[in-house]
Structure 1
Amino acid sequence: MLNLAGTVLAAGAIATVAFDMFGQSISPWLGFANLAPVPLANQVIGVFFGQGFLPGAHMLHYLAGLVFYPLGWLLVAEPLRRRVLPQLPWLAGAVAYGVGLWIFALYIMAHLIAGNPPFLGFTGITWVALVGHVIFAVVAAAVFRIRGVGRD
């Protein structure tokens, strides 16, 4: 069990670094939008508690990346792929999971909860967020596969 928890945290940590590096370094360096997951998390906190709390927003971002999103792959997306579409390669499943994370982040969290336009108005940040969430999912899934967790 400790080995599994370590793998979840490793997958989440490596994937979160990849997400943040892409969204906050590589994308702006290439002239595209800069991802801002912590301000979005702060908006969500503000909706629930009446005002934002930046330390809590950082914690929410890291808990999602380190624990909840990797567990979503391990406990929901990957078992679903294996049962419903076993012929679908894990990489395609991971890309689909990344798109699902993007929908969750930019429609459910950013729009339905925080009150922003759906998908943040389909501006530059929308597409950088799509790529970032797909990168996250592929990296996390790859770590699980390398560690032999949740494989076919």
Structure 2
Amino acid sequence: MSASAVSAVRPHQGLFPPLTLATLATAILAGLLADGAWEIWARFITPLWVGGPLQPAALVQSVFGFQSFALAEVVHLVVGIVFYPLGYLFVARPIADRFLPFLPWPVVALGFGVGLWVFALYIMAHLIAGLPPFLGFIQLTWASLVGHLIFGLVCGAVVRWRTGATG
């Protein structure tokens, strides 16, 4: 990646990346690859462990009361492809850069994945949908944690690659 492309995504000054098409492209690419990794884990590997796939659309249905499973899938995909990577770029990385600058990027990315897991299974599933906290810590809970760690790690790796960041 050229120096101008790197500075277009993450300048050396300032805590946040600029609001540019390059930043949006980085977020969407990170989201596509991270969500793709999540889907492989959730639909093909998790069933070997827990006997069935992770179905985040079912959680979306519980939270928002959607009748359509397809609509719930679309909502989950949009959140994973667009909004979660933007959260990494504009929340997780800036907080880590400001308060924990010594942490290597994989630790920040894995911490982001844990944060997504807490958001999904405590805030959304428990506080909003009324399910037990973390679904009662069943096997599916741990499969979800692994999936969110994978998502965070892939998202962080893509952002690191696209921004040319070190550390």
Whether TM exceeds 0.5 here: the answer is yes
Deviation at 1:29, TM superposition (A): 2.8
Normalised to the residue count of structure 1, the TM-score between the two structures is 0.90
Q: Could you tell me how far apart the structure 1 residues matched to 2:166 and 2:135 are?
A: 35
Deviation at 1:34, TM superposition (A): 2.2
Q: Does 1:2 align with 2:21?
A: yes
Q: Could you tell me how far apart the structure 2 residues matched to 1:72 and 1:150 are?
A: 17
Normalised to the residue count of structure 2, the TM-score between the two structures is 0.82
Is there any run of 5+ residues in structure 2 with no aligned partner, and where? Answer: 1-19
Residue equivalent to 1:42? 61
5 Å matches for 1:84-103? 84-103=99-118
Residue equivalent to 1:114? 129
Q: Which of 61, 64, 73 is the aligned partner of 2:76?
A: 61
Q: Could you tell me how far apart the structure 2 residues matched to 1:122 and 1:31 are?
A: 13
Alignment CA distance shift 1:149-1:114 (3 Å): farther
Of structures 1 and 2, the larger Rg is shown by 2
State percent identity of aligned pairs: 47
Q: Can you list the C-alpha shifts for 1:70-123, whole angstroms capped at 9, x where unaligned?
A: 011100000110110111111101111111100000000011111111101110
Deviation at 1:128, TM superposition (A): 0.4
Q: Can you list the C-alpha shifts for 1:103-151, whole angstroms capped at 9, x where unaligned?
A: 0000000111111111011101100000100100110110011111666
Is there any run of 5+ residues in structure 1 with no aligned partner, and where? Answer: none
Alignment CA distance shift 1:77-1:114 (3 Å): same
> Number of residue pairs matched?
148
